[in-house]
Amino acid sequence: MAQVQLQGIVKAYGALQVVHAIDLDIADGEFVVLVGPSGCGKSTTLRMIAGLEDISGGMLRIGDRVVNDLPPRDRNISMVFQNYALYPHMTVRENLGFSLKIAKRAEAEIAKAVTEAAEILSLTPLLERKPGQLSGGQRQRVAMGRAIVRHPDVFLFDEPLSNLDAKLRTQMRVEIKKLHQRLGTTIVYVTHDQVEAMTLADRIVIMRDGRIEQIGTPLEVFETPVNTFVATFIGSPPMNLLEGRITDGTVELADGTRLPIPPGHGAAEGRAVTFGVRADNIMPVGHALPPTAHMADVEMEVQLSEPLGTETLLFAMLAGTEVQAKMLNPRPVRLGERLRFQISLDKCHLFDAETGAALRV
Partner 1 sequence: MSRLKLPPWLVLLLPAIIILMAVVLVPLVLSFYSSFTAYQLTRPDSLTKWIGTFNYRKAAGDANFWWAFGRTVLLLTIALNLEMLLGLGLAVMVSKVTTGQRLLRTAMMFPMMFSPVLVGFQFKFIFNDNVGLVNNALQSLGLTDVAIPWLVDGHLAMFSIIFAEIWTSTSVFAILILAGLYAIPQDPVEAAKVDGCTPWQSFRFVTLPFLMPFIYIAMAIRSLDVARAYDIVQIMTNGGPARRTELLWTLIGRTAYVDARMGYANAMGYIAILLSIFFTIYFFRKLTAARSELGMGV
Binding segment for partner 1 among 96-104, 189-197, 243-251, 274-282 (CB under 8 A)?
96-104
User: Residue 47 or 180: which CB sits closer to partner 1?
Assistant: 47
Asked if residue 73 binds partner 1 (CB under 8 A), the reply is: yes
Dist. CA 84–CA 310, nearest whole Å: 37
Give CA–CA dist 11/19, Å, rounded: 5
Measure the CA–CA gap between 322 and 320, rounded to whole angstroms.
7
DSSP 3-state of 58: strand
Least Å distance, CB 332 to partner 1, is 50
CA 108 to chain centre: 40
Best CA proximity match to 237, nearest among 162, 302, 326: 326
Which of 35, 45, 81, 180 is in the footprint of partner 1 by CB under 8 A? 81
Q: Which stretch binds partner 1 (CB under 8 A): 8-16, 27-35, 77-85, 286-294?
A: 77-85
Q: Name the minimum Å distance from CB 91 to partner 1.
A: 11
Burial 200-223 (b: 16+ CB within 10 A, else e): bbebbbbbbebebbbbbebeebbe
Q: Is there binding between residue 98 and partner 1 (CB under 8 A)?
A: yes
Q: How many CB atoms lie within 10 A of CB 311?
A: 17
| Residue of the chain from 44, 45, 78, 305 that contacts partner 1 (CB under 8 A) | 78
Near partner 1 by CB under 8 A, which window of 82-90, 221-229, 260-268, 322-330? 82-90
Q: Single out the residue of 82, 42, 78, 47 nearest to residue 164, CA to CA.
A: 82
Q: Provide the minimum distance between the beta carbon of 115 and partner 1 in the complex, in angstroms, as a whole number.
A: 19
**Residue 148 binds partner 1 (CB under 8 A):** no
Shortest separation between residue 105's beta carbon and partner 1, angstroms: 11
Burial call 277-303: b when 16+ CB within 10 Å, e when fewer? bbbbbbbbeebbeeeeebebebebebe
CA atoms within 13 A on the CB side of 309: 0
Q: How far is the CB of 56 from partner 1 (least distance, A)?
A: 18
Residue 149: CB minimum distance to partner 1, A: 10
132 binds partner 1 (CB under 8 A): yes
Residues forming the site for partner 1 (CB under 8 A): 50-52, 71-73, 77-79, 81, 83-89, 98-99, 102-103, 130-133, 146, 150, 156
